[in-house]
Amino acid sequence: MRSLGVKAGFFGAEPWSETMRKEIEEKLHLLAIDIYGLTEIIGPGVASECEHQNGLHIFEDHFYPEVIDSKTGKALPDGEKGELVITTLTKEGSPLLRYRTRDITYLERSPCPCGRTSVRMHRVLGRTDDMLIIRGVNVFPSQIEEVILKVEGVEPHYQLVVERRDNLDELEVQVEMNEKLFSDEIKVLERTEKAIEAELYATLNIHTRVKLVEPKAIARSEGKAKRIIDKRTL
Ligand SMILES: [Zn+2]
């Protein structure tokens, strides 16, 4: 890869985490830039990071962004997480007014070292339709993925099972082991489960139960991943 001399790559679509970015940059020897877009608006090109990788500059001359509370529809101030809403300003064929993206992010207007003055959106934190509320805490699968990616011996394939026992939500995180860990002693597996639980607690502030599963046990999906099984009856 180094001999190709590729300087930068643009990555988008399914939320990719900071940990995955580091891995891509190390393995491909390039600057991995986050890009954002959606088919309904224009496809890729609504926003992109600059070389400082601190939020995606929105092309405000073409798109008017707002962040709203997805329940009330009210606009939120900069820095507050909510659903990104986009109005196209220059699109002529099929303009969209206050299009709800279902993507969760927040806006940031502090100056960027690159000199661009456009508003920046934080990398997409999740989707309004895949946000889980566990014991009152908002949990995004992307946060869990970020933790899992840091752990030795497991694959980035996981499934979340939510149940409610005695009126309390319980979250089980099933994580796939790689072949090497799978052939290891039970003691090692238990230690790994506990380590992931501790790391998840540090990130999410909720207790989870981590269960390691055999390699290839979790169904692969094409396109949007189906990672949540919610068994709660409310
Ligand atoms: Zn910048």
- Residue 106 is predicted with a pLDDT of 97
- Mean pLDDT by groups of 10 residues along the chain of 234 residues: 91 74 91 92 93 96 96 94 96 94 94 96 85 84 88 90 88 95 93 96 93 92 72 76
Ligand 1 centroid – CA 139 distance (Å):
29
Q: How far is the CA of 56 from the centre of ligand 1 (A)?
A: 8
Task: Answer for the pair 125, 104: CB distance below 8 angstroms, yes or no.
Answer: yes
The two three-digit tokens of residue 198, written as one number:
């501790």
Q: Looking at residue 222, what is its pLDDT?
A: 62
| Per-residue confidence (pLDDT) for residue 14, from 0 to 100 | 61
Report how far ligand 1's centroid is from the alpha carbon of 55 (Å).
8
Q: Model pTM?
A: 0.66
The strand pairing partners of 158, in sequence order, are 175
- Dist. CA 100 → ligand 1 center (Å): 25
Distance 50 CA to ligand 1 centre (A): 5
Q: How far is the CA of 95 from the centre of ligand 1 (A)?
A: 27
Separation of CA 198 and ligand 1 centre (Å) = 35
